[in-house]
Amino acid sequence: MGDDAPWPGHACGLDRAEYGSLHRTIEQAHHHNGWFTPQEVRHAAAGLAHLLDRAALDRWLAAYPSLPEDRVRRTVGLVLAGNVPFVGIHDLLCTTLAGHRARVKGSGQDAGLTRAVTGMLLTFCPDLAPMVEFAEGPLGAVDAVIATGSTNTSRYFEHYFAHLPRIVRKGRVSIAVLDGSESEAELDALGEDVFRYFGLGCRNVSKVFVPVGFDTDRLFKAFYRWKDIALHGKYANNLDYHRALWLLDGKPFLENGFLLMRETSALASPVAVLHLERYADRHALDHHLPTLAGQLQCIVGHGQVPFGQAQRPGPDDYADGVDTMAFLLGL
């Protein structure tokens, strides 16, 4: 599923028709959501394989000794985002492993990907089929909710589901902290954290902190292999829009033909833009970053998430730092 290979035979666990159906869903996703190109969807599918690695799953679940115990089965509403492919699979995985029923309300931007990959997983685990349903209309009566959206939609979720146990996730961003000693290979890997999924994910690096005197040309040079991203129509429109806006406003910025970079204290950046902030005192920066914790999904850098790995979370890398499994086991 992570590459464009022909059906490999029954050894893959899917028959030719099932494999072909999943392949078509991946190939056609961009017709429903222009950001979901086949390349990006297949990369996300490869990330699912990383998430479902048997050894990683065993280590993750070992932290929950109460998991095998009998508990009252609840119906958990999952309101999924649609900013990147397969973004809600971890919530679905947690819900079913905790022994609850999942009622899934997919995003209109999902392009059928979550339903398709869920169908594939149920092919391997048919006993879970009664524990998963997709809501075609309103979510309906549920016992708890896990809802993911923007900061604006989170206010609606908090009000609408105020009577239920819930996890409501808001919009977050990720940053990178450079100390100046990074190798060219590490800066090259940082491009994966910035550009993958066109920068639309909460784990995409939207801002880079660099020491005073850091040569930004090092970043542009390292990012050059991503130059063809500007051939994507929606990305190019964002690039042109912000370039024109800043030129009209007289705001200083740097660019290399496929990325705009400007120095600002703001964390969140638009598509095709990377924010930059210089620091003179690393000790002061390390004390400042915890004050931003409520806005950050992850930090990339030495001693943090390794360069190039922001988009490859493990099963225990919970969104917003909230332990989804503990929440579900406590229902």
Any alpha helices (H) in the chain, and if so which ranges? 16-32, 38-51, 54-61, 89-97, 113-124, 151-160, 184-195, 217-222, 233-249, 282-288, 324-329
Residue 79, helix vs strand vs coil? strand
- Domain 10-171 sits in which CATH superfamily? Aldehyde Dehydrogenase; Chain A, domain 1 (3.40.605.10)
Query: At residue 305, does pLDDT exceed 90?
Result: yes
> What does the pLDDT average to over 13-33?
88
Query: At residue 3, does pLDDT exceed 70?
Result: no
The mean predicted confidence, pLDDT, of the chain is: 94
Annotated domain spans of the chain: 10-171, 173-300
- Tens-place pLDDT, residues 64-123: 999 999 999 999 999 999 999 999 999 999 999 999 999 999 999 999 999 999 998 888
Question: Do 10-171 and 173-300 have matching folds?
Answer: no
Residue identified by tokens 């932290």 is 63
Report residue 26: phi and psi, to 5°: -65, -45
Q: Which two tokens stand for residue 260?
A: 């705009």
Q: Which two tokens stand for residue 300?
A: 């990339």
Pairing relationship of beta strands 205-211 and 144-148 according to DSSP bridges:
unpaired
Q: What percent of the chain has pLDDT over 90?
A: 85
Whether this model's pTM surpasses 0.85: yes
Q: How many angstroms separate the Cα of 273 from the Cα of each of 195, 246, 247, 256, 309?
A: 10, 12, 14, 11, 20
- Tens-place pLDDT, residues 212-236: 999 999 999 999 999 999 999 999 9
DSSP 245-289: HHHHHT---EE-SS-EEEE-S-----TTEEEEEEES-HHHHHHHG
Query: At residue 278, does pLDDT exceed 70?
Result: yes
Query: At residue 54, does pLDDT exceed 70?
Result: yes
- Cα–Cα distance, 38 to 24 (Å, whole number): 10
Beta bridge partners of 260: 255, 273
Residue 6: band (very low, low, confident or very high) from pLDDT cuts 50, 70, 90 = confident
* Domain with residues 173-300, CATH architecture: 3-Layer(aba) Sandwich (3.40)
* Nearest to 173, CA basis, from 260, 269, 107, 89: 269
Residue identified by tokens 């990330």 is 47
